[in-house]
Amino acid sequence: MNVSLILRRLLQLILIVAGVSVVVFFMLRMIPGDPAQLLLGELASPDELASLRDQLGLNRPLPVQYWIFVKNMLMGDFGNSVRTGTPVIQEIIPRFIATIELSAVGMLIATVFGILAGVLSAVYKNSIIDYTAMLSALVGVSIPVFWLGLMLIYLFAVHFHLLPMMGRMDLALDIKPITGFVLVDSLIHMDFSAFRDGLSHLIMPAFTLSTIPMAIIARITRSSMLEVLNQDYIRTARAKGMEERVVIFRHALGNAFLPIVTVLGINMGLLLGGAVLTETIFSWPGLGRFVVDSLMGRDYNAVQACILIFAVLMAFINLTVDLIYAFLDPRIRVNED
């Protein structure tokens, strides 16, 4: 593995996170509305407001506030939530885990079905399977996820009563958190009714979240497979009498994987963005919904921490994709541009 590539990318990551911290900090303070007023309400006296502003450090000059924020952040202290008074990090961790659980299942659905649809589409090119898969992919990239979510809720929760409407778990069920992931914890406790319940809560939001990435993966897999299927070594493999399944999944898909990996990385970013809307619709207690609520409530500390986490996560995903890319194709070395 190329060490200089990793170091260079890590340096870029630090620069980007520093830039994001500046942008978030100053943009937040441009949002109209006084957090002290929001907390104390319209009836608060000027003295009470001044005292709270002082307590929250809002009276200090902006560069000083930024310096304090950076210094604390480097020590892992993101401050207290203006709305709840508890440390932001305590608020974020369970929500972050909920978002990761949702995104991971969403990505799994998108990858499995996206690749399958793309492979079938390429193998049965210009057939009804190809047309159906590609039309579905086109609808997938054009559909508003918030609308799809609402329609799924109406169909499967309101009309057929097959799945729960919202939330992460039935409130009556209580499992002691170990990892924070409902599915994993219920399996550790061997509580299968909790597992079933967690899964039933996860299906609709995860599917909603997966539609756009699934469509993109299907399209890129198809075009990548079509390119590979025309290569001489595929013809040779077939001529040698290899099973078609082996030719397609081992020889063709294995070599068509490079562009798919890139798209998978880009899609993780899409998933994180999509989580904001999906979590709002399904009342999923994740980071996406939390950041929107915090933004509306002028909870500076919470928003800063959430967005930095999103940015670091995105930068790490990009770094991982670059490394996997270099690993999969040894011809690829550091490409500056």
Catalog residues that contact another protein under the rule CB under 8 A: 12, 15-17, 19-20, 23, 27, 30-32, 138-139, 141-144, 146-148, 150-151, 153-154, 158, 216, 219-220, 223, 269-270, 272-274, 276-277, 280-281, 291-292, 295-296, 307, 310-311, 314-315, 337
How many Cα neighbours within 13 Å face the side chain of 15?
6
Q: Select 129 or 166, whichever has its Cβ closest to another protein.
A: 166
Burial class (CB in 10 A: 0-12, 13-18, 19+), 85: exposed
Based on CB atoms, which residue is closest to another protein, 81 or 318? 318
CB of 11 to another protein, least distance (A): 12
Rounded to whole angstroms, the Cα distance separating 224 from 258 reads 9
**Residue 274, number of CB atoms within 10 A of its CB:** 24
Asked whether the beta carbons of 202 and 183 are under 8 A apart, the reply is: yes
Is the Cβ–Cβ distance between 146 and 277 less than 8 Å? Answer: yes
Nearer to another protein, 46 or 144 (CB): 144
Shortest distance, position 315 Cβ to another protein, whole Å: 6
Distance between the two ends of the chain, CA-based, in angstroms?
19
Round to whole Å and give the CA distance between 129 and 269. 29
Cα–Cα distance, 31 to 117 (Å, whole number): 44
CB 22 to another protein: min, Å: 8
For another protein, the closer of residues 32 and 241 by Cβ is 32
- Shortest Cβ distance from residue 135 to another protein (Å)? 10
| Nearer of residues 32 and 85 to another protein, judged by Cβ | 32
Q: Which is nearer to another protein, 186 or 208 (CB)?
A: 208
Residue 175 CB, nearest distance to another protein (Å)? 30
Residue 86 C-beta: closest distance to another protein, Å: 23
Choose between 28 and 237: whose C-beta lies nearer to another protein.
28
Report the residue number, 102 or 311, with the smaller CB distance to another protein.
Answer: 311
Give CA–CA dist 210/295, Å, rounded.
25
Cβ 288 to another protein, closest distance in Å? 8
Burial class (CB in 10 A: 0-12, 13-18, 19+), 267: buried
CA 311 to chain centre: 11
Burial (0-12, 13-18, 19+ Cβ within 10 Å), 290:
buried
**Sign of the CA dihedral 331, 334, 336, 337?**
positive
Least distance CB 10 / another protein (angstroms): 14
